[in-house]
Amino acid sequence: MRNLSYEFCRLTPPPLPSPMPAKQYTAQLYPGVLSIPVKGNFVGFSVELSVANQILGTNSSRLAVPFLNYVAGLKSRSGAAPPIRVGGNTQEKARLFLQSFENRQFINKTENINPLNPTRTPDVDISLDLYYAMTNVSALLGVEWYIGLPFADATNVTGISAMLGHAEKILGDRLVAAQLANEPDLYGIGSRKRPNPYPIGSFMDEWGRAIEAINNDPLVSNKQSLLGPSICCNIDGQWSIDQVIQAGFVTGFDSNLKILTVQRYPHDNCDPINPTNPQTLYADYLSHTNLVNVVKEYNSASAYALQHGKPLVMFETNTASCGGFVGLSDSFGAGLWGIDYSLQMAWANFSNVLYHFGGQTVAYNAFTPPPGTINIEDNFGWTTGPMYYMMLMVAEALGPSNSSRVVDLKLNNNNPYTPGYAIYEGPNPTKLVLINYMNDPSGAADTIVTVSVGGGTTNVPAQNPQTAYVRYYSANSVTQKYNLTYAGQTMGAPFQSDGRLRGKRDTQQITCDANTGCRIPLKGPSAALVFLTQDSLNAVNTGVDDDTGDPSNTFPTTTETGRYAYGAKVDQGVLQTSNGRGGKEERKKQGLRTSHGDLENGTANKRVVGVSGLVIGMMVVTAVGLFTSSGTRI
């Protein structure tokens, strides 16, 4: 559950650096070493399978309206919906049923908990209706999906190929790829899925047997639909991605391997006995240097992937494993970190990065439904985290051209507290992202960045724009959690969002000097997205209301409370006791959670119920072309 003490736990901002970086510095732009072209929907979602019914909706006929709005907000800026993965630890023992469960839910959780698994996730059964729900989301918003296949029992090759075949049949070309094995480098230690030691050779042997079943299964038409190896941690002498590549993983499985994937959390928060104090780590997340050190571990894999024509995807990540750190992962500072981390991966030639979602007790979620979502009829009261605002800025920074190329500018003598990136489309820079990690409400940490295009000693003629257009990601402190703003707009306080921004969008215009460039003020803390051309600004405004910033296609509810900050209330007694079914004490008694923290669906009988009709949440929407698990068009 998410109670008030959880919501308002705030850390102390780290002290200012000593010595302080220069308060005024130049971003001199000229052609340099750029990334591969990346798409506007570079940033996507990774949804833990066991909480998919909280995020997507209860079944294929009742999609969650705020979720659709969150996705639409990103799509309107990037030109395409964010890719979404449904999987994680709970995919590993998942079983597929051809009929829906009680109350037509597509997920049924059991009480079979592995005590050696630090995330203490329940076993999960899914029905085909999950894939129909995903298909309906795609029909509305064009989402493309990654799914997870069960691999805890690698001998069950028939179950693996059958799940892939049914998903492919329902999702069609909206299925990008399927994950076979989630974090297999931990199989021999953390979750005890295999004997210890569990070598790379054994993993590849098991992959080979599963692939043989897939290749022989007539239900699977696309044989090159797998991704891997999805290793995560390189700890305690476990595998690295380079070692897996050197063992022949890519060349050996080339005809079945579509995408090369890794997973990574900068810090581990999975030890319930000796938990980490996030205050001691906060400064790590407010430094460009630390995330650069994480990303550069994949430089060799990135080069290899390019050489062999395989996209490299950061398939699951966030601030810290097992739900992140309360007070850190849900703070404005984490949002700044996410902007920096995402663009650093783009510069390192990743093709996508997926930020993970867990249950309602998880700190790092970009957005979280209210307690008891699966039982209520109204679609309001969601909580928006800093990571969603981050995603909005990155979506606009990369834009809809699908040709954006990124470069780390190493600004201010590569100072770790004032990083910045340029985005090129073709030969010319069109946008910049500037970050100030320092925290000082007095203004002592504010900076001014002079953006200069060509000229000076660059041997390129000066091409400074007449006007720069700036949108800020803002808060009063790095520790602030809610009522954050991007371009002057907010999603409000906890339990107050329906997935749509509020307020008038603010794009500041700065007059530039033809010789010296554009002076961009940057508060400490904040991030700025600088548009250097009117065309680059117009591109991210397509399909968006000029005043509200809302996409033209949003999904209103029928709850008459205006924008929920002005009317909707959630009874505090409910918040303090509700955890979907049975409340906090019941949850503790059952000991069930997902991603270090949640049981929202409880258990359900495997009773087949009929599927008919279509009502998507409480929204008004035309139902043409959508499907239910009966497989009939309605």
The pair of three-digit structure tokens given for residue 244, joined into one six-digit string? 């897996």
147 has pLDDT over 50: yes
SS3 210: helix
The pair of three-digit structure tokens given for residue 49, joined into one six-digit string? 């399978």
Positive or negative, the Cα torsion across 166, 167, 172, 173? negative
For residues 622 and 286, the model is more confident at 286
Summarised one tens digit per residue, pLDDT across range 484-528 is: 999 999 999 999 999 999 999 999 999 999 999 999 999 999 999
- In whole angstroms, give the CA distance from residue 268 to residue 186: 13
Summarised one tens digit per residue, pLDDT across range 229-245 is: 999 987 666 799 999 99
581 has pLDDT over 90: no
| Stretch 207-234: mean pLDDT | 95
In this predicted structure, what is the pLDDT of residue 416?
98
| Stretch 111-139: mean pLDDT | 79
Summarised one tens digit per residue, pLDDT across range 419-446 is: 999 999 988 999 999 999 999 999 999 9
In this predicted structure, what is the pLDDT of residue 112?
55
* pLDDT band for position 42 (cuts 50, 70, 90): very high
Q: Which of 483-487, 552-556, 574-578 has the highest mean pLDDT?
A: 483-487
* pLDDT band for position 5 (cuts 50, 70, 90): very low
In this predicted structure, what is the pLDDT of residue 380?
72
Summarised one tens digit per residue, pLDDT across range 51-100 is: 999 999 989 999 999 999 999 999 999 999 999 999 999 999 999 999 88
275 has pLDDT over 90: no
In this predicted structure, what is the pLDDT of residue 607?
26
| Stretch 628-633: mean pLDDT | 38
* β-pair partners for 445: none
In this predicted structure, what is the pLDDT of residue 271?
84
How does the average pLDDT of the chain come out, rounded?
A: 84
Summarised one tens digit per residue, pLDDT across range 364-418 is: 999 999 887 444 445 678 999 999 999 999 999 999 999 999 999 999 999 999 9
Residue (of 370, 467, 476, 424) closest to 67 by Cα position = 370
630 has pLDDT over 60: no
| Stretch 210-232: mean pLDDT | 96
Domain spans in the chain, listed from the N-terminal domain onward: 42-400
The reported pTM is 0.88
Residue (of 84, 133, 135, 124) closest to 104 by Cα position = 133
- In whole angstroms, give the CA distance from residue 241 to residue 300: 9
- In whole angstroms, give the CA distance from residue 552 to residue 326: 35
538 has pLDDT over 80: yes
Topology at the third CATH level for domain 42-400: TIM Barrel (3.20.20)
Minimum mean pLDDT among 139-153, 285-299, 301-315, 537-551: which range? 537-551
What string of H, E and C letters represents the secondary structure of 216-269?
HCCCCCCCCCEEEEEECCCCCCCCCHHHHHHCCHHHHCCCCEEEEEEEECCECC
In this predicted structure, what is the pLDDT of residue 137?
97
605 has pLDDT over 90: no
- In whole angstroms, give the CA distance from residue 494 to residue 497: 8
| Stretch 281-293: mean pLDDT | 97
- In whole angstroms, give the CA distance from residue 3 to residue 551: 31
- In whole angstroms, give the CA distance from residue 81 to residue 45: 10
Minimum mean pLDDT among 212-226, 481-495, 562-576: which range? 562-576
566 has pLDDT over 50: no
For residues 361 and 338, the model is more confident at 338
In this predicted structure, what is the pLDDT of residue 7?
58
